Chains A and B, each alone.
Chain A
């Protein structure tokens, strides 16, 4: 008879303890690919998020409480991305998430956000579907492929010789296929001829068949969409096969290994980035960029990782601001507050406009896009 009350007391005590622990901090769930085919990018974004949390907590946190990241690895796999969301929402009870690097992982996660009513700030995803499918819990700070294509089109005159015909080399997922579609549409409207479209599996390492097929296609530019690892392989293998076309990469990833281990001498590649640490002084808010870069450097993280680390940094700044505006760390209040966020970030000004079907709109930011060139391990602005 004595056991029951004792058990109840113990249980009650444990519950109280965990309650107290949960109340000490404001938790933010993070779902990123820390392993698998796009692990490099996910790791950079997570490190950027950590720096933002340190920065905010150093200034006293939000609503008088420190922020705490609960980080889960989605293993570059849409199925695992769903698992991470369920774990973060159900077990860790996070009121808001950041994730999930890439359109495919984000799209897979989105139904869970709606099911449980938890908002997510999407730091990386370029498929238009993310914000047009009518999920009111999604707020994207990264550009869509269409925005990228339009930004690229504005810079067409900077390319010499001029771009007349393009081919595509795209990773076989929502991101790669979506980007190819958007760039085709925009470039065709500018009178540029569109040639072949070649596809690579997300885990492929040998791209020689695709590249050899593009070699004599008569185009002058190949638009490549994939993560850090495949961009590195594509550029190196294109140079090895004597591909004469200009390579332009989209999606904001940068083939960082080529800085230390450049391919053949004189080979130039062009990259669409959302933050360029090489030309940070020209960004919209150089002081914020500087704070972020200094913190990154202090940790000894690799310099080129700054190009993607800012995504996590800006996303956490956005979430923290929304919690501050909401006045409480509750999912619905944070979602409503995200619409009111007006913030200066590393990429530029962050604010959301409505996209998607009326009454069920998602939030979309209008970020800045930078174009840079890489040659012999050296980076310069276009």
Chain B
């Protein structure tokens, strides 16, 4: 029983970070229809910001988290404004090529700046785990879980309840109608891309003290994020969040009770099965566009 609960706790913490990655991407990929291959690179960017600020400049970890989110927002918004705005998102091939280019440039820039050797970000929390009824959880992971849940809720409220969220949803449902009722469509595009990127960057910064920071860490994150978005249904915020938890728990329990060698394969097998049964994803109400 202890082991089952330990797996549940591990899977939930991992799931919270998967959910953050998934929501960021579903904003960009699901709603804006930009196949954002650079999502994982923004995650790596956030982790390197944390490394530079905390390990090199001895800055407070929590300040670094906020700065990582801010810089991620700025970088994402710049990518949209400088690169995507110009091709007006009409030709998906062009957009894809641009994003692949951004991914390659960012990954190699990280390599050039920091080298290929993994970096470690010290945690501000005690190293000794919290033990409740035989279940172990490190304070760092507990903080990651808490922060992720707060961010998930905040994003949900912004998208579903705020005027900004309303304008975003309106823009991506019908751009012309949104323009007629006075929405600044260009600004919404830039802001959406920035917000999605910011989520990826803060996830990277949150996980930097849990894992290690490397220039190729974004590859795995991108792969998982795409899987989660497809699993949850394109453009569905709730779907991406639940998809994140679902994928993490499937991986964790699959590894624990079936085979650790096929941990990733089990996750993708379930996604394949979902695609066959429900091609629009688990939680999407409508058919996929395009």
Contacts and interface: CB of A to CB of B under 8 A. Distances in A.
Chain A complexes with chain B = yes
A297 interface: no
B269 to A, nearest CB: 15
A212 B10 contact: yes
B21 to A, nearest CB: 13
B263 A205 contact: no
A61 interface: no
A36 B107 CA distance: 11
A232 B211 CA distance: 9
Given A43-B117, A213-B256, A264 B261 contact: no
Interface in A248-284: 257, 260-265
Interface stretch (A91-99, A184-192, A236-244): A236-244
A204 B122 CA distance: 20
Interface string A32-71: 0111110110110000000000000000000000000000
Interface string A204-231: 1110111011011000000000001100
A40 B252 CA distance: 28
A132 B127 CA distance: 45
A172 interface: yes
A233 interface: yes
A172 B261 contact: yes
A209 B7 contact: yes
A45 to B, nearest CB: 12
A232 B120 contact: yes
B3 interface: yes
Contact of B118 (A39, A206, A262, A263): A39
B116 interface: yes
B255 interface: yes
Interface residues of B, number: 39
B261 A199 contact: yes
Interface hub of A228, A242, A263 (most chain B Cβ within 10 A): A242
A166 interface: no
B116 A201 contact: no
Interface hub of B7, B215, B220, B261 (most chain A Cβ within 10 A): B261
Contact of A40 (B118, B211, B215): B118
A241 B128 CA distance: 9
B72 to A, nearest CB: 20
A205 B212 contact: yes
Given A212-B3, A212-B10, A213-B255, A205 B116 contact: no
- Please tell me the size bucket of the interface on A: 35 or more
Contact of B216 (A35, A213, A264): A35
Contact of A43 (B116, B259, B263): B116
B17 to A, nearest CB: 9
Contact of A35 (B2, B116, B220, B261): B116
Given A37-B216, A39-B116, A212-B7, A241 B211 contact: no
Given A199-B260, A264-B127, A209 B252 contact: yes
A203 interface: yes
Interface string B124-139: 0001110100001110
A232 B127 contact: no
Given A209-B251, A261-B122, A264-B127, A203 B263 contact: no
Nearest to B122: A261
A255 B29 CA distance: 38
A198 interface: yes
B2 A216 contact: yes
B6 interface: yes
Contacts of A36: 116, 216
Contacts of B122: 261
A243 B211 CA distance: 18
Nearest to B134: A242
A215 B138 CA distance: 16
Given A199-B260, A210-B255, 17 more contacts: A35-B216, A39-B116, A40-B118, A198-B260, A199-B261, A203-B219, A205-B220, A209-B7, A209-B252, A209-B263, A212-B256, A228-B118, A229-B214, A240-B141, A241-B136, A261-B120, A265-B128
30 contacts: A33-B116, A34-B116, A35-B116, A35-B215, A35-B216, A199-B259, A199-B260, A199-B261, A203-B216, A205-B220, A206-B10, A209-B251, A209-B252, A209-B256, A210-B255, A212-B7, A213-B256, A215-B3, A228-B118, A229-B118, A229-B214, A239-B129, A240-B129, A241-B136, A242-B131, A257-B120, A257-B212, A262-B127, A264-B127, A264-B129
**Nearest 9 CB-CB pairs, A to B?**
A39-B116, A209-B255, A35-B116, A199-B261, A240-B138, A208-B10, A205-B211, A257-B120, A242-B136
